[in-house]
């Protein structure tokens, strides 16, 4: 059965591929025509091939439940999302601007705190920050960079404008799925992929390696880089193993490392100890060194903070970077960019209400049924209230939470997130809401992935795209429509 895009329900939201008249947007014309020719039966077969490929490749993630941890195959939709390269170049510039300013902000907080003294950021915001680490005051990481790997979540509203929804600066995950999505799409839609001028993403592991290698305190030709994982039961363990393998780095747990009497970090190997130069850590601050943070942690390395402070090992991301991974700090990012760079933000924030402001809190409490309320430091879609989809009981619960700890909550309008055609049961194309997580790297240089991880709310009408909450993903094509 053929596909008629004029029957596709694109009205009411900005659709990434199909406009409201049922015509494909310019960069997506070739893809839309190809999908229409394939028809729903063939697309169903391609979908089954994709599912089998996910199983064969072992692409999985872990969901934490009350009954225990469940490993699930990665939910994947075969219909790519398309963004023109001309638009992407502007987005990439905005993401570089943002991370550069945020790193200057973090560095300032652990040194002069000029932005507080100048009255741009209120002092109490940092004093009450869950992720400000007094232990990091005075430390000078290479290039003044604390957040070396950032995943900023982008959303497009009904007006077609792209917004930054939040920044993830602690241990952002998802980039391995971006790379695997591309590999799967090449396998299931080879004909159209070969004809489109899709910009590549597969240089990310080498870019990540170069970013990390530049941090090495020893100027050696081949610095020893390791990926520090909490272990096989972590939800992102697939990614930890994938990136280590792709970079040619060692995947280690805390017990594989030790800090010597010289305050250098060593890896235990069958050949003896080997000096470690850079640790790409996928463990939260509070668990990386039991001598400094959580004394009961079995995941970290005793003495690691001491080695880092003495400049004998580089940590990416640096401890303390999470102070900027705070949804209250997010509200100040436009001012942060202007303060440090003297520039206007190239990508706007979503309008944000701070619940510790009495007037804004009153507005939020009066409009809980219309707003999205988020705690300052949760991730994965946990702890949120999506007002239009909530019950009176939910709203009453959040009203109490906000009143008890207003500093910990922000609220935002419920955006009309853009949609894209998604293949559902029966070979039918239906719009599903989505977001986009590009990854930005910074050490000596700045780099932005060509596109990112498009996450899709697989449930009809849902705005929650996180895989932990039932979301899936699709490949993101940055298409150069002007190339010869």
Separation CA 462–CA 416 (nearest Å)? 11
Looking at residue 426, its pLDDT comes to 78
> Mean per-residue pLDDT for 110-122?
97
268 Cβ contact list (under 8 Å, min separation 6): 256, 257, 258
pLDDT in tens, 435-472: 999 999 999 999 999 999 999 998 888 877 876 666 88
Looking at residue 65, its pLDDT comes to 45
pLDDT in tens, 162-202: 999 999 999 899 999 999 999 999 999 999 888 888 999 99
pLDDT in tens, 241-250: 999 999 999 9
SS (H, E, C) 438-470: CEEEECCCEEECCCCEEEECCCCCCCCCCHHHC
Looking at residue 152, its pLDDT comes to 95
Looking at residue 186, its pLDDT comes to 93
Looking at residue 465, its pLDDT comes to 81
- Judged by average pLDDT, the poorest of 191-200, 298-307, 341-350, 463-472 is 463-472
As a whole number, the mean pLDDT across the chain is 91
Closest Cα partner for 456 from 483, 427, 429, 480? Answer: 429
pLDDT greater than 70 at residue 290: yes
Separation CA 267–CA 304 (nearest Å)? 12
Strands 265-269 and 68-73, bridge-based pairing = unpaired
> Mean per-residue pLDDT for 75-103?
96
Separation CA 371–CA 403 (nearest Å)? 16
Cα-Cα end-to-end distance for the chain: 34
Six-digit token pair at 181?
Answer: 């999505």
pLDDT greater than 70 at residue 483: no
Residue 237: its H or E element: helix 237-247
Task: Please state, as a whole number, how many other Cβ atoms lie within 10 Å of the Cβ of residue 294.
Answer: 15
Looking at residue 182, its pLDDT comes to 95
Query: Can you list the domains of the chain with their CATH numbers?
Result: 218-312 (3.40.50.11290), 353-413 (3.30.1490.270)
pLDDT greater than 90 at residue 1: no
Separation CA 148–CA 16 (nearest Å)? 30
Looking at residue 113, its pLDDT comes to 98
Q: Percent of the chain having pLDDT more than 90?
A: 75
Query: pLDDT grade, residue 418 (50/70/90)?
Result: very high
Looking at residue 53, its pLDDT comes to 85
310 Cβ contact list (under 8 Å, min separation 6): 263
pLDDT greater than 70 at residue 276: yes
Looking at residue 341, its pLDDT comes to 98
> Mean per-residue pLDDT for 385-408?
92
Helix-, strand-, coil-residue percentages of the chain, each rounded to 5: 35, 25, 40
- Judged by average pLDDT, the poorest of 109-113, 259-263, 333-337, 373-377 is 373-377
Separation CA 117–CA 248 (nearest Å)? 45
Looking at residue 72, its pLDDT comes to 66
pLDDT greater than 90 at residue 133: yes
Separation CA 270–CA 291 (nearest Å)? 27
- Check whether the bond before 284 is cis (ω within 30° of 0): no
Q: Select the more confidently predicted residue: 126 or 380.
A: 126
Instruction: Give yes or no for a contact between 354 and 328, defined as CB atoms under 8 angstroms apart.
Output: yes
pTM of the model: 0.93
- Judged by average pLDDT, the poorest of 123-127, 310-314, 379-383, 462-466 is 379-383
Looking at residue 226, its pLDDT comes to 98
- Check whether the bond before 178 is cis (ω within 30° of 0): no
Looking at residue 64, its pLDDT comes to 46
Looking at residue 315, its pLDDT comes to 98
pLDDT greater than 90 at residue 154: yes
pLDDT greater than 70 at residue 111: yes
pLDDT greater than 70 at residue 69: no
Q: State the Cα torsion 421-422-427-430 to the nearest 10°.
A: -60
């Amino acid at each position: 059965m053929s596909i008629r895009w004029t029957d596709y329900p694109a009205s009411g939201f900005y659709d990434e591929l199909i406009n409201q008249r049922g015509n494909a947007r310019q960069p997506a014309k070739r893809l839309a025509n190809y999908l229409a020719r394939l028809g729903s039966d063939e697309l169903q077969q391609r979908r089954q091939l994709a599912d089998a490929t996910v199983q064969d490749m072992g692409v999985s993630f872990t969901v934490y439940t009350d009954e225990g941890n469940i490993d699930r195959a990665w939910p994947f939709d075969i219909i790519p999302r398309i963004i023109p390269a001309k638009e992407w170049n502007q987005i990439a510039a905005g993401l570089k601007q943002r991370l550069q300013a945020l790193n200057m902000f973090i560095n300032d907080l652990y040194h002069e705190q000029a932005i507080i003294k100048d009255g741009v950021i209120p002092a109490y915001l940092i004093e009450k920050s869950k992720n400000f680490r007094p232990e990091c005051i005075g430390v000078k990481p290479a290039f003044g960079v604390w957040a070396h790997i950032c995943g900023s979540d982008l959303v497009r509203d009904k007006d077609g404008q792209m917004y930054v929804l939040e920044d993830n600066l602690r241990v952002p995950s998802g980039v391995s799925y971006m790379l695997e999505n591309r590999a799967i799409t090449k396998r299931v839609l080879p004909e159209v992929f070969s004809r489109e001028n899709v910009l590549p993403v597969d240089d990310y592991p080498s870019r990540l390696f170069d970013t990390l290698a530049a941090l090495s305190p020893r100027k050696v030709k081949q610095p020893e880089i390791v990926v520090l994982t909490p272990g096989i039961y972590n939800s992102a363990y697939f990614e930890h193993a994938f990136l280590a393998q792709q970079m040619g780095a060692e995947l280690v747990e805390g017990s594989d490392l030790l800090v010597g009497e010289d305050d250098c970090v060593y890896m235990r190997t069958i050949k003896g100890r080997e000096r470690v130069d850079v640790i790409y850590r996928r463990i939260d601050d509070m668990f990386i060194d039991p001598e400094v943070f959580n004394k009961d942690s079995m995941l970290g390395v005793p003495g690691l903070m001491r080695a880092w402070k003495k400049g004998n090992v580089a940590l990416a991301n640096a401890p303390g970077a999470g102070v900027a991974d705070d949804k209250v700090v997010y509200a100040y990012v436009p001012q942060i960019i202007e303060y440090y760079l003297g520039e206007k933000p190239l990508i706007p924030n979503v309008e944000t209400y701070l619940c510790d402001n009495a007037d804004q809190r009153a507005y939020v409490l009066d409009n809980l049924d219309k707003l999205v309320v988020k705690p300052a430091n949760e991730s994965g879609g946990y702890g949120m209230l999506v007002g239009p989809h909530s019950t009176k009981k939910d709203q009453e619960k959040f009203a109490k939470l906000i009143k008890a700890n207003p500093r910990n909550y922000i609220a935002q309008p419920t955006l009309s997130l853009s949609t894209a055609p998604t293949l559902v049961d029966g070979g039918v194309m239906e719009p599903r809401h989505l977001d986009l997580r590009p990854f930005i790297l910074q050490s000596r240089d700045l780099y932005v992935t060509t596109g990112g991880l498009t996450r899709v709310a697989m449930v009809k009408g849902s705005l929650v795209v996180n895989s932990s909450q039932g979301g899936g993903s699709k490949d993101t094509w940055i298409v150069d429509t002007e190339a010869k």
